[in-house]
A and B are shown apart, each in its own frame.
Chain A
Amino acid sequence: MTEGNNRDRDVIREYLLGHLNQDEAAETSMSDDILADDKLAEVVESIEDEIIEEYLEGTLDPETRNSVEHYFLQPPERQEKLHFARVLERHLAARPISLPAKPALAGDELLKEARPGRFNGGRVRWLSARIWVYGPVAALVVFGLVAAGYLNLLQRKLTVVEDDLRQEKLHSARLSNQLSQLQLPIVVLSLVSARPRSAVVREEIPHLEIRPSTERVMVEVAVDRPQTSTYEVRLESNEGGAPIWTAKLSPIVSANGDARLVFDLSAKLLRSDVYSLRVSELAKDGTVKYYDFDAQAAK
Chain B
Amino acid sequence: MTTRKSERCLTAESFGKFLRWLSGDDQEAVRQYETIRRKLVRYFVHKGCADPDDLFDETVDTIVGKIDACGEILSPLAYCHGVAKNVWRQSIRKRRTVSQFREFPSPEPEDWTEHERELRCLERCMNQLKSEEREVVARYHTSRGRERIEARQALAGDKGGANALRIKVCRIRKDLRLCVIDCMKRASGAASFEAEGQA
Contact = CB atoms under 8 A, between A and B. Distances in A.
Nearest to B119: A91
A16 interface: yes
A95 B134 CA distance: 13
Contacts of B154: 116
B135 interface: yes
Interface stretch (B21-29, B58-66, B101-109): B101-109
Contacts of B123: 91, 95
A32 B43 CA distance: 10
Nearest to A55: B104
B119 A89 contact: no
Contacts of B43: 31, 34-35
Contacts of B190: none
B169 A46 contact: yes
Which bracket fits the contact residues of A?
35 or more
Interface stretch (A76-84, A234-242, A247-255, A267-275): A76-84
Given A43-B163, A73-B102, A77-B52, A31 B46 contact: yes
A226 interface: no
The 4 A-B residue pairs whose C-beta atoms are closest, nearest first, are A46-B170, A97-B138, A71-B48, A46-B166
- Main secondary structure on A side of the interface with B: helix
Contacts of B139: 99
B85 A31 contact: yes
Contact of B77 (A35, A42, A49, A87): A35
A41 B42 contact: yes
Nearest to A30: B46
Interface of A: 1, 3-4, 9, 15-16, 18, 21, 28, 31-32, 34-35, 41-47, 49-50, 69-89, 91-93, 95-97, 99-100, 115-116
A49 B50 contact: no
A1 to B, nearest CB: 7
Interface residues of B, number: 54
Given A3-B164, A34-B46, A41-B42, A79 B2 contact: yes
Contacts, number: 128
A56 B121 CA distance: 22
A74 B181 CA distance: 20
Contact of B177 (A4, A43, A81): A81
Contacts of B102: 73-74
Contacts of A75: 44-45, 48-50, 52
B143 to A, nearest CB: 9
Nearest to A8: B163
Contacts of A70: 100
Nearest to A38: B39
A96 B141 CA distance: 9
A97 B105 contact: no
Nearest to B180: A84
B187 interface: no
Contacts of A91: 119, 122-123, 126
Given A41-B42, A88-B122, A83 B141 contact: no
B104 A73 contact: yes
B4 interface: yes
A99 B138 contact: yes
A88 B141 contact: yes
A78 B42 CA distance: 11
B3 interface: yes
